[in-house]
Structure formats: C-alpha cells, structure tokens
Amino acid sequence: MGMTITEKIIAAHAGLMEVRPGQFVYADVDVCLGNDITAPIAIEEFEKAGIKKVFDSEKIVLVPDHFTPNKDIKSAQQSKSLRLFADKHHLRHYYEIGRMGIEHALLPEKGIVAPGDLVIGADSHTCTYGALGAFSTGIGSTDLAACFATGKVWLKVPETIRFVYNGKVRNWTSGKDLILYTIGKIGVDGALYRVMEFTGSAIANLPMDDRFTMCNMAIEAGAKNGIISPDKYTEEYIKGRVTKKYKNYQSDPDCKYAKTYEFNADKISPQVALPSLPENTKPVAEVSGIKIDQVVIGSCTNGRISDLRIAAQILKGKKVHPSIRLIVIPATQEIYKQAVKEGIVEIFIDAEAVVSTPTCGPCLGGHMGILAEGERALSTTNRNFVGRMGHPKSEIYLCSPAVAAASAITGEITPPDDVGN
C-alpha cells in the first residue's frame, strides 16, 4: 500500500522506508521556530538543562512578532531573551523590528521553508507551511527546547483526511472562504490529530497566498497539519527564494485516507464565522447588516500582498464608515514595501484606515486594536474565541479581506458585491 504525502515526509525524516498512522517516530527537523511568547520558556528550559550548544545555528528561527513593537516592560523582556539567545548561539535566522514580519508569512518569503521539509514551531499556526508541500506542525515550548538541543521531534504519525474541491472558485471567494466553509462542515474537532490534505481542481488553480491561508487554519479544525502537494504554483513561488535542496512529494494513488470530503467550490460564497468558534460559519449574505465597531485586515492568515490588493480594490475612492476603526497590518516588511510601491497604503490612508508595522497585535489580544466590552470586530484573523481580541464580552467575526473591506465602508457586515469595484 502506498503512502500519503505527509507519511512520506515523516518517513524520510525518521530514516524509515515507510510509516503508518498510529506509529511513533523520532524524526529529524529541518526548521525549528519560536516567537516572543513561546521561545522564552524554551530558552529557560534549555539553559536550566545545562545545554551549552544548539544542534544547528542555521535551522533555528526566532521571530518576536506577537507583542512587537514591545507594548510594555514584560514584552520587552521577552524579546530581549530571544535577542540574547540568538546572539549567544550565533543564530542565522533572528528577525526583529525593521527586518521581521509575522512569522508564518516571513519564513516562506525568506525561503527558509521548502517542499518536503519537516518543520516544527512553538505556535499552533506553524501548519501554514503545508502550502509549500512541507510537513509542519505546532508543538509546546518544552518540546521546542528539546529540539534546540537535539534537532529532533517525537511524533505520532497522523491519519489523513482528503478534502477535494471541485470546480472553479467564485468571484470574491478566496482560500479563507473555502477553509471557513470546510470548518463549518466538519467542526473544530473534525480533523483532530489528523492531516487535512487539500486537493481538487479548485486547489490546483488556487494562488499560493490562498493556499497559505487554508493550511494556516487547519489547526482550527483540530488538525495536526494541513498540506497541499507541490505544483507549478509552488515552484513559481519558491523560485529565487529557496536555495537549499528540496524534494517534492506526492500522495500515492493507492494510499489510504481515513475519510474523503468533496465540495463544489463554485457553490461556496464568501463566508463569515460568527462568535465564538471558527465552525460557526454562514454565507455573508445571511448575516449582512450586523453592526460592527472595528475591522482588522492582516495576520498570518490574511496579511499578504494579494489580501491587501483585494482590500484596496474595494476601498479605492471610498471612506471607512465614521463608526468604524479599520486597522490594516501588512504581514512583513517586504509586503509593506510592496503595498507602498503599488499605492495600496495611500488608498488605505485616504480611506481613513490606519496602517501598522508588521505584528500579530490584535489577533491574540496583544495590542494595536484591543476590544472594549460590548464591541464587535470583523477580522481576517484565524480565531474568534471568547476574549481573543480583548474584553470577554466583546465579539469577533472572521472573514476574508474582501468582506472586511466592504464592511468597513458600510459599518456593518456586507457582501463584497454590494460595494465592490
């Protein structure tokens, strides 16, 4: 019997000819990632253990992005611990203000992750890199400390669920809408400790930024990882970025899937996830008219250049509703620079939005857009749990950049077709 793409990657990194779901392996890691929330704990454990040297200064990546620019003394101390550790161990990949970005947008942009890699990170949205055909998953801070020392991770091989999207994606419908729709169908535990393998004609024609979005939110269905087989779009994206050797893996025709779901992409319209779970999804047309106070466009889910272009297309020549605070956060410095070059930032400012330096910021209730009691936010981020963006009596609605931009203009949840250019 054949293997899935995920099983092949794990087997290769465990030095085995094959692996099967449920099997435990000890695998080599290509990239080991930490941020300003999770890495300080890992660093403390690493040093408490008396370990003097990291396994490979080229393969550890530290990115302070959650509370940066530092919002208070505590966050400044956390960032400082990363800075000192990176300097002490001569880490090649340390990215701070002016050079940084939101980690899961930054690593692909820098060519740090390649197809066929095994990537672990002390952040649940590490599953983003599956869009490149890599196996990537989140771990805890103590596991990160162990990886700093050994370059290995202990894994249970997950079962794979195949998600087939047939047909053509509709106008204003994006990868964000496909994944919100999917989570709405299977629930937040519908892929618990399983692989979400995305395929079908709609995926084959989906741009890379949308693929990153879909794999990013696999964790919102409880998945171990999300993954898409590398193809011509993958090769176009990594060209000029990835310089190391890599390998493209594909699932075998006779591999075993735990389950298969099939969806018609041409019937999926823009979606909104209502409070307070990503599975609570409805077509935007069914929830239009809900009043909101704040709109956020950004995050590791939807802060890429194509996301900003879509938002700017809708906002051009228009104004943000007087009752709305629109916060736009480009995911990396390069994306910010490109948005300036294309006149996108000017469109946002003319529309009376605020544009931030790259940061996770409001996504986790860190800073740059905390909600007060009773306020509602419409956001392109990935989670809408109670209190996620601030006050526990605030509400978060999740959507795509198109829906976010349209709603910022009207002051209420609005389908993009109602205001789109």
Contacts of 238 (CB under 8 A, 6+ apart): 111, 114, 115, 132, 246
HSE-CB of 184 using CA atoms within 13 angstroms:
20
Place of tokens 């692909």: 108
Question: Domain of 299?
Answer: 271-418
pLDDT of residue 355: 98
Q: Which of 350, 352, 303, 310 is nearest to 330 (CA)?
A: 303
- Whether cis (ω within 30° of 0) applies to the bond prior to 362 is no
Of 213, 230, 263, at which residue does a domain stop? 263
Contacts of 207 (CB under 8 A, 6+ apart): 175, 233, 306
What's the pTM value of the predicted model, to 2 decimals? 0.97
In tens, the pLDDT along 115-137 reads: 999 999 999 999 999 999 999 99
Contact of 125 with 143, CB cutoff 8 Å? no
Residue 334 has pLDDT above 70, yes or no: yes
What distance in Å separates the CA atoms of residue 350 and residue 178, rounded to the nearest whole number? 31
Residues 180-188 have a mean pLDDT of 98
Q: Examine the domain organization and report whether 356 and 339 are in the same domain.
A: yes
Residues 243-258 have a mean pLDDT of 97
Percent of the chain at pLDDT above 70? 100
Residues 301-328 have a mean pLDDT of 98
Q: Examine the domain organization and report whether 326 and 358 are in the same domain.
A: yes
Radius of gyration of the chain (CA): 20
Residue 100 has pLDDT above 90, yes or no: no
419 — pLDDT class (breaks 50, 70, 90): confident
364 phi and psi, to 5 degrees?
-110, 15
Q: Examine the domain organization and report whether 258 and 299 are in the same domain.
A: no
Contact of 352 with 319, CB cutoff 8 Å? yes
Q: Examine the domain organization and report whether 91 and 195 are in the same domain.
A: yes
Contact of 358 with 65, CB cutoff 8 Å? yes
Contact of 31 with 59, CB cutoff 8 Å? yes
Token pair recorded at residue 271: 């979606």
State the CATH number of the domain containing residue 145: 3.30.499.10
| Mean pLDDT for the chain overall | 97
In tens, the pLDDT along 24-81 reads: 999 999 999 999 999 999 999 999 999 999 999 999 999 999 999 999 999 999 999 9
Residue 236 has pLDDT above 70, yes or no: yes
Contact of 114 with 134, CB cutoff 8 Å? yes
Q: Which amino acid is at 230?
A: P
Q: What is the largest CA-CA distance in the chain?
A: 61
What distance in Å separates the CA atoms of residue 300 and residue 216, rounded to the nearest whole number? 8
What distance in Å separates the CA atoms of residue 1 and residue 20, rounded to the nearest whole number? 10
Could you write out the DSSP letters of every residue in 75-119?
HHHHHHHHHHHHHHTT-SEE--TTT-B-HHHHHHHTT-S-TT-EE
Domain count across the chain: 2
Residues 314-331 have a mean pLDDT of 98
Residues 109-114 have a mean pLDDT of 98
Contacts of 17 (CB under 8 A, 6+ apart): 11
405 — pLDDT class (breaks 50, 70, 90): very high
Q: Examine the domain organization and report whether 283 and 187 are in the same domain.
A: no
Residues 222-239 have a mean pLDDT of 98
pLDDT of residue 418: 84
Residue 420 has pLDDT above 80, yes or no: no
Q: Examine the domain organization and report whether 225 and 337 are in the same domain.
A: no
Residues 400-417 have a mean pLDDT of 97
Residue 421 has pLDDT above 70, yes or no: no
Q: Examine the domain organization and report whether 224 and 294 are in the same domain.
A: no
Q: Examine the domain organization and report whether 222 and 285 are in the same domain.
A: no
Of 218, 233, 263, at which residue does a domain stop? 263
What distance in Å separates the CA atoms of residue 258 and residue 21, rounded to the nearest whole number? 10
Q: Examine the domain organization and report whether 358 and 239 are in the same domain.
A: no
Contact of 224 with 160, CB cutoff 8 Å? no
Q: Examine the domain organization and report whether 287 and 230 are in the same domain.
A: no
Could you write out the DSSP letters of every residue in 334-403?
HHHHHHHHTTHHHHHHHTT-EEPPS--GGGGT-SSSPBPTT-EEEESSS---TTTTB-TT-EEEE--HHH
What distance in Å separates the CA atoms of residue 62 and residue 92, rounded to the nearest whole number? 9
Q: Examine the domain organization and report whether 170 and 258 are in the same domain.
A: yes
Q: Examine the domain organization and report whether 352 and 396 are in the same domain.
A: yes
